[in-house]
Amino acid sequence: MKKLRPFLFLACLCIMGLLSFDTPVQESMQVKNILGKLLLYSKNERPEKTYLHTDKDFYTNGETIWFKTYLVDGIDHRASDKSKVVYVELIDSEGNILERRKQFVSDLGAEGEIQLEQKLAQGEYTLRAYTKYMLNEEEPVFFEKKIPIWMQQMTKGDVAGIPQNSTNSGVTDVVDEKEGVSKTKVRFFPEGGQLVTGMSSKLGLEVTDGQGNGLALQGTIVDQDGNVAADFRSGEFGLGVVNLRPLSGKTYYARLDGEATDSEFELPRAMPEGYLLNVTDRGEHILVQVATNLSDGLQGALLLGHLRGEVFLKQVVNGYGTKEHAVKIYPDQLKEGVAQFTLFTAKGEPVSERLFFVENPDQRASLSIDTDRKSYGTRDRVQVDLALTDSQGKSLEGEFSMSVVSKNALSSEYSGDIRSWLLLDSDVGATVPDAGYFFRNASKDRKQLLDALMLTHGWRRFKWSQLLEKKTSKKLRFPPEKGITISGRAVNYYDNEKFGKSLASLTLMGEDLVYDKDSTDNNGRFAFGSFFFQDSVDAILQAEGFGKRPKVLDILLDAPYPENMPAPRKIQYRETRHVEPNNDYMANAYRQKVADFTFDPDKVNLLDEAKVRGKKVNISILRNHEITRQTDYAQITSGPFTYRIHVDSIQGTETLSALELLRYSRFSAVSGRTSIYASNEPLYLIDFIPVSKSTLNGFRANEIMFVDVVRGPGASIFGSRGANGIIAFYTKRPILFENKIFQKKIPDIIDTKIIGFNKVREFYVPNYSVDKKEHEKPDYRSTLFWQPDIQLKKDRATKLDFFTGDNPGNYLIKVEGLADDGIPVNQTMELEVGSSN
């Protein structure tokens, strides 16, 4: 034992040496861990964002919503390299999804349209866009736009002549939604997350009514003894900022001027010890300050700042006992958007956090809209030139969409744009009804309100605690979709809770015949794709079990759209006041409806409502069984069948299975040969549908009308699958009971339709320079022009043209889109249309 003592002594020295360097080593490891996790998030878990540019802000029944869907990487705002499929939904005020569109995005965007029903109820609807990949987020932020839709009921008396003096023709009365609004609420948000006793701090505040409407009010902050500590005032959207230095043992309350003294709002309690994080815009630079009243100060603390995937600030505070630290940030070196500042302790714990919106004019792009004239007459040609440049005037490229609409078809209540959504709302969630307000001018008041907005909102993309604790990347529940995927499960036919590995196959009968097969996983799941096709395509899916005695299977397809989607979010700053439609817009919309009926009666139905009673018929079943006689069946082959078995000429079929009918063929499979070529298994069909041999065991011979045996060139229609011949079974017409079709469910196989991508109608642009009969129709369109796919290039000018209609007045050319470097751009220009040329 004595010999071990020198070694123990040396070991103790080594341990003491390691301990003396423990703090800086741990600090370095913590910093590396934080930066590494943020880097992995930016690389592997980059979010996606969607945006919809609609031609107008509100509509009437029967009109069409024209829209362009933008899908971008959530960090750099360039084209996403993840998803290629976007879902767009129209949702009513009860959360019911009325319309769905599945769009394929080849680069940045995809065009779409939704035809509104004539009998659509009046109300506020939501237009929502998202990808399946977004559903992986704990609190996904979908793009949502509130759209009022107004009901206009045409009367038969108006068909004789278009009403010229109509204002709100056919508009149903609307109840004011502000009735029953509850009392005012005041909330305070300490900068950085906490108030600390004895330390001056900034608080963001919001004043709202019970429905979330922002209120511009003023008041005072008092302690429990009634002593005034500060005055405050809220401005636009109910936002404001106030400074407070809480004292030990004091509780603070807010009182609104003019309210009863018993109507008080308690402020957050101050902590005896803690951290402060302050960010202030000083014009040329942003000053970031951290402070604490803890005895060990900020030693080893990490101050981190990141914006859209880039870390622009990482400072470790040195000096034991340091209780204050400050750093300057120059915005001209940063991108525009929401920056997140976080203070970590030496142990890597996030203790204070602050959002700040960075503005940098040098990071913006400018879109110019030029027309060939300043004013136009009715039915006059308008020529538009578009050009995109950076802040230095250099030409840029990008993808854009443009609408030309009556000025009264746009509402200031719903005037968010692609810039305010991508740079602001999409990162912090719903903010205010008009987020575009913060981007219209550079006034001091507007900047202060924007800072108040940042103080009252938290970071939504991820939580530091979850990010730092995450060990490895988990398998995504919703992987990015590259196209149409056909997926589902193969389960036990008699017990859907039982499943296992099997062989699944798919046949798509579109313009090109597609066939694919693959083994399922242990849970019976299968997935085929990705495919691209529009509208709907007939498909046949089969499943075949493994082993000597395979189980009879059933196929359960996944829904074509995401299921159990949440209701549209309730916007925190939701303006619920009644939005009045513009009288001129409503009158012109009504005139257009009357003109549509006068010149195209099939477009608008004015007949009295009639109720038709009937029973739904399964069209897919009728398609396979609509023929009643053998001779009416179409052959599946390009040539004649080799041999036909007529079941009605065979005696005793009641005791036979469908497969046993083959004994009456000279190419009998019962005699020991497994194919009509005495080699491999032939291709079995039931009413043109490929099936497995085991599936035939589920059919009796008396259910079959006849059997065709095909070999040679006649089987070539099925390619290599028909190389061993074809045995085709044709069933009898299904029995009808009280107009209901009764059909036995076929095991191992389903015949269905697969929903494809939506096919979009072309926007109609009249050419009034050419005389046509159709031009006799009055033109009261509120949307004169819609072009969803505009590619701006450096090497060539972009010119567009369209014609005005019959409505004089002011119109807006509204262009939105993204430069190739991810900078969002929106621009409008007013167009004047006179009553004549």
What pLDDT is attached to residue 350?
A: 87
**Residue at 287: amino acid letter:** L
CA distances for 577 relative to 148, 177, 212, 235, angstroms: 12, 6, 11, 18
> How would DSSP label each residue in 746-789?
PTTEEEEEEE-BPPPPPPP---TTS--GGGGS----SEEEEEEE
**Residue at 525: amino acid letter:** R
Asked if 420 and 414 touch (Cβ cutoff 8 Å), the reply is: no
What pLDDT is attached to residue 17?
A: 34
What pLDDT is attached to residue 520?
A: 94
Task: Identify the residue whose tokens are 């910093």.
Answer: 31
Asked if 531 and 509 touch (Cβ cutoff 8 Å), the reply is: no
CA atoms within 13 A on the CB side of 636: 27
Which stretches of the chain drop beneath a pLDDT of 50?
A: 1-27, 159-181, 572-578, 606-639, 668-678, 735-744
Phi and psi at residue 600, in whole multiples of 5°? -150, 80
Burial of 157 (0-12, 13-18, 19+ CB in 10 A): exposed
Alpha-carbon Rg for the chain in angstroms:
35
How far apart are the C-alpha atoms of 302 and 317, rounded to whole Å? Answer: 6
**3-class secondary-structure state, position 814:** strand
How far apart are the C-alpha atoms of 460 and 257, rounded to whole Å? Answer: 34
What pLDDT is attached to residue 4?
A: 36
Strand intervals (E) in 466-592: 484-492, 502-509, 513-519, 525-531, 536-545, 553-557
Largest CA distance in the chain: 118
**Residue at 571: amino acid letter:** I
What pLDDT is attached to residue 55?
A: 96
Task: Identify the residue whose tokens are 């159990």.
Answer: 564
What pLDDT is attached to residue 102?
A: 96
CA atoms within 13 A on the CB side of 173: 2
What pLDDT is attached to residue 214?
A: 87
Strand intervals (E) in 449-534: 484-492, 502-509, 513-519, 525-531
**3-class secondary-structure state, position 12:** helix
Phi and psi at residue 183, in whole multiples of 5°? -75, 170
Residues 6 or more apart from 298 whose CB is under 8 A from it?
A: 290, 291, 292, 317, 322, 323, 324, 325
Going by their DSSP bridges, the two strands 375-376 and 286-292 should be labelled as: unpaired
SS (HEC) of 629-643: CHHHCCCCCCCCCCE
Three-point CA angle 818, 820, 823, nearest 5°: 45
How far apart are the C-alpha atoms of 478 and 498, rounded to whole Å? Answer: 24
The answer to whether the peptide bond before residue 530 is cis (omega within 30 degrees of 0) is: yes
For the record, the structure tokens of 711 come out as 């070999």
Q: Which of 364, 338, 359 is nearest to 141 (CA)?
A: 338
What pLDDT is attached to residue 608?
A: 43
How far apart are the C-alpha atoms of 195 and 246, rounded to whole Å? Answer: 7
Asked if 698 and 704 touch (Cβ cutoff 8 Å), the reply is: no
Q: Which domains does the chain have, with CATH numbers?
A: 48-160 (2.60.40.1930), 185-358 (2.60.40.1930), 619-742 (2.170.130)
List b or e across 514-550, with b for residues whose CB sees 16 or more CB atoms inside 10 angstroms. Answer: eeeeeebeeebebbbbebebeeebebbbbbbbeeeeb
For the record, the structure tokens of 805 come out as 């209609």
How far apart are the C-alpha atoms of 470 and 4, rounded to whole Å? Answer: 43
H/E stretch holding 419: helix 418-420
> How would DSSP label each residue in 79-95?
B-SS--EEEEEEE-TTS
Q: Which of 814, 766, 832, 808 is nearest to 584 (CA)?
A: 808
Three-point CA angle 59, 60, 64, nearest 5°: 65
User: Tens of pLDDT along 474-501?
Assistant: 678 899 999 999 999 999 888 888 888 8
Global pTM value: 0.78
How far apart are the C-alpha atoms of 48 and 75, rounded to whole Å? Answer: 8
**Residue at 233: amino acid letter:** R
How far apart are the C-alpha atoms of 454 and 459, rounded to whole Å? Answer: 9
For the record, the structure tokens of 506 come out as 């798919």
**3-class secondary-structure state, position 158:** helix
Asked if 116 and 59 touch (Cβ cutoff 8 Å), the reply is: yes
CA distances for 606 relative to 76, 114, 292, 592, angstroms: 51, 22, 73, 15
Asked if 507 and 517 touch (Cβ cutoff 8 Å), the reply is: no
Asked if 196 and 212 touch (Cβ cutoff 8 Å), the reply is: no
